[in-house]
Chain A
Amino acid sequence: DAGITQSPRHKVTETGTPVTLRCHQTENHRYMYWYRQDPGHGLRLIHYSYGVKDTDKGEVSDGYSVSRSKTEDFLLTLESATSSQTSVYFCAITSGTGSRAEADTQYFGPGTRLTVL
């Protein structure tokens, strides 16, 4: 496996509480991504980062914020968790060093299962 860890791996929280998920990589890759995976929807991009302090929204970014203060860490925060955010969250990385301006192979972390009661 690529050097990607996610923490926590499982979390149960209550509606209205803030939650932060952490993605840590040891590959020094430039690009990092947060996805959520739900039955019937596949993987959907929440936010991604193309460098330290450089982030952008994905297709399902409402209710989520991210931060990247170091190359190796990408944090996903649910500012006030709702039951609709119950999901499995995956972090992914890619080097982005290819000469072509196109998405390259992504390497995924093991996932965080979040339950919001």
Chain B
Amino acid sequence: SQQGEEDPQALSIQEGENATMNCSYKTSINNLQWYRQNSGRGLVHLILIRSNEREKHSGRLRVTLDTSKKSSSLLITASRAADTASYFCATSNSGGSNYKLTFGKGTLLTVNP
């Protein structure tokens, strides 16, 4: 069953605006990762945040993690048309089998030029 649940399912914004996607999960985690998938392609890793971290940055990406609320958010600043893609969160669950990720269903982001 899915561990992560992204919200919203779809998001449409204008170029230059910021995009925020959220992920909620149910069980304790070791880390949480965000991936991007362009249409018809495989997933590409964006960023990994560990359970003892609260915030990480990578370029225009900012990820936060709140383990007390079992939630994470991905912020993309100054969005571009090339950011149009589906975004997935994935959790590495503590206590489970090592090296497995559980993916959410994704948020489809459309950035309009």
Interface residues of A (CB under 8 A from B): 31, 33, 35, 40-45, 48, 50, 56, 58-59, 90, 92, 94, 96, 100-111
Asked whether any CB of chain A lies closer than 8 Å to the CB of B84, the reply is no
Q: How many angstroms between the C-alpha atoms of A101 and B99 in the bound complex?
A: 7
Interface residues of B (CB under 8 A from A): 1-2, 30-31, 33, 40-45, 48, 50, 88, 90, 92, 94, 97-106
Determine how close the nearest CB of chain B comes to the CB of A7; give it in whole angstroms: 14
Are B41 and A103 in contact, with the CB atoms below 8 A? no
Q: List 6 A-B contacts (CB under 8 A).
A: A45-B102, A101-B98, A103-B98, A105-B48, A106-B45, A106-B101
Are A108 and B43 in contact, with the CB atoms below 8 A? yes
Are B42 and A102 in contact, with the CB atoms below 8 A? no
Q: How many angstroms between the C-alpha atoms of A59 and B1 in the bound complex?
A: 7
Are A40 and B105 in contact, with the CB atoms below 8 A? yes
Q: How many angstroms between the C-alpha atoms of A43 and B43 in the bound complex?
A: 10
